[in-house]
Each structure stands twice: as C-alpha cells, then as structure tokens.
Amino acid sequence: MKKDLLKLLDLTTGDIVQILDTADRLKAERKAGKQHDFPAGKTLAMIFSKSSTRTRVSFETGIYQLGGLGVFLSNADSQLGRGEPVKDTARVLSRYCDCIMIRTYEQEEVEELAEFSAVPVINGLTDFAHPCQVLSDLMTIREHKGRLEGLKACFIGDGNNVANSMIVGCLKCGMDVSIASPEGYRPDKRVLDYAAGAISGKFVLTDKPSEAASAADVIFTDVWASMGQEDEAEKRRKAFAGYQVDDAIMELANPGCMIQHCLPAHRGEEITEKVFEEHAHEIFDEAENRLHAQKAIMYLLMKSNAI
C-alpha cells in the first residue's frame, strides 16, 4: 500500500525513529563522500503555493544528492494556479513522477492530493502541520543531547503549525512538552486532544512563558506572524508581548538548554539577538538537518515504502 507523510499524527514512534536513524546514516554518508544506495532517476514534483528558502533548496538538493531530479512548480507555473482541481493534478503528476511534495495553506489540500495520487505525497508545510521541520528538530536534539526520551521540550509563542507538529513529535518520542501561548493563539484542538491522551511524556499548556521554560532542555520558538498573517502583525505583537525568549527565560531552563527556531527569525520579537547568536550553532544545525531528514523521508518512501 502507498504510504505518505502528511502529519506526525499519522506516524508511530517506530516510524519517527526509523526516519531519524536513516537521516543520521545518510548525513554520515554524505560527509564521507559515499554514494547513497538509492535507485537512479527518481523524480520529485515540488508544488509551492507558499514561497520558501529552506524547503525548496533542501528538497531540490536532497533529491539531487540521492541521484534524482526535483521539478519545481509554483502556482504561476502550474494549472493549480488557474483552478485545476487538486485531484486532477494528483492523478497527472503521479503518472510522471515518483513522489510529490507540496507546501501550501490548507491541510485538506494535502490530504486530497494524497488520496488521488498513486505515488507518495510529502507535506512540506501547511497551516496545520510542519512535519519535516519537526523531524529535523528531533534529529538535531538527538545529535546534541544523545537522546530524546526523558527530555523536556518547551515552545513559547504562537500555537501554529510548528507548535502542532512539535507537540506530537516530542510526545511520541517520550519527551515532556510544555507550551506557552496566549488565549486565542493556542495549538489546534486536534493536537491538544492527542496530547491529553498521549501515553508517553507529560503535557502542560499555559499562558506563562516562565512556567513553560522551567527546567526545559530545549526551547522552541517561531515568528509571531507567519506567512499569510502579515496584516495581523501589529495585533500579534501586542498579543505576544512578554513571550520573547530572552536571558530571563534561559535562566529558568536547565543548564545546556538548546534553542530551536525554524527560521526566518525576527530578532527582537520572539527572540533576542543575544540569545539567538549564543545558540546559532544549534539553530543552523537544525536548518542543515532539513536536508538530511527530508532525504531520509524520500529514501524511505521511494526506495522501500517503509513509513
């Protein structure tokens, strides 16, 4: 049966560990100059309704390093932008390509694409979920800390797609999770319902960043106004006053606490320049690992259909 990566809610802990282990192996092979064991000539269709730096470059570079080809399609370059139904695009592209990655707004669009595609579909980002980002984060945390289980992860800021996926991914890996978001900007109810019934890790939702950051081993944050929310920027700056990751927050965390930021960062808003630069090596390790984690996803979906 065809498999996809649409959201972390769909994956088991074993699936996540398999992706992380594969990413570690592919990263080591790349650093050693070793050729990847992957069928030559695979093609990845890349649909972008939202613009991108990291997602486009990491996927396009990743499929090339595996020995395949990435085909970039923006709304302006494809019939999707002129109103072609998603299900028709899915049925066409899956006759040309071996895998489809899409970065768009609505999660329902990704789900419909997968329903009608004969090849695997990867969610490169929606307003609901950012699974590839959080798999890269988990890879980075494990590299720096040597483990995931038993650590405490904290997210401070907007309960957006990154927060949604971070909650699910961290809990599935046995981490404790605390989220600090103001009322009206909380994570999605589907995610909160999952967290309430999660069998591993403890979950705390609060409106107090100091409470969330206490004894944290890794702190996540993200911009207060994501792509498509630019007209809400001033309103959001007021709502998130007091939710900045600064020295006072870091003093509450455990010694050696990491920072993860999906980028781009708005220094002086969700994070201070000082804290960002003190943890830049972790943040840019995280950015690099988008390449390796996504290569692992493509490897597993296209070579062995394993996840």
Cα atoms in the Cβ-side hemisphere of radius 13 Å centred on 125: 22
Q: Is 205 left (phi over 0), alpha (psi -120 to 50) or beta?
A: beta
* Rounded CA separation 195/135 (Å): 18
Instruction: Check: CB of residue 300 under 8 Å from CB of residue 18.
Output: yes
10 Å CB burial of residue 144 (0-12, 13-18, 19+) is: middle
Helix (H) or strand (E) holding 209, with range, is helix 209-213
Q: Is 268 left (phi over 0), alpha (psi -120 to 50) or beta?
A: left
Q: Is the C-alpha dihedral spanning 183, 184, 190, 191 positive or negative?
A: negative
Residue at 40: amino acid letter: A
Question: CB–CB of 8/107 below 8 Å?
Answer: no
Rounded to 5°, the CA angle 271-105-176 comes to 50
**Active-site annotation, residues:** 103, 130, 133, 222, 262, 290
Other C-beta atoms within 10 Å of 277: how many? 12
Question: What is the C-alpha separation between 169 and 187, in angstroms, rounded?
Answer: 14
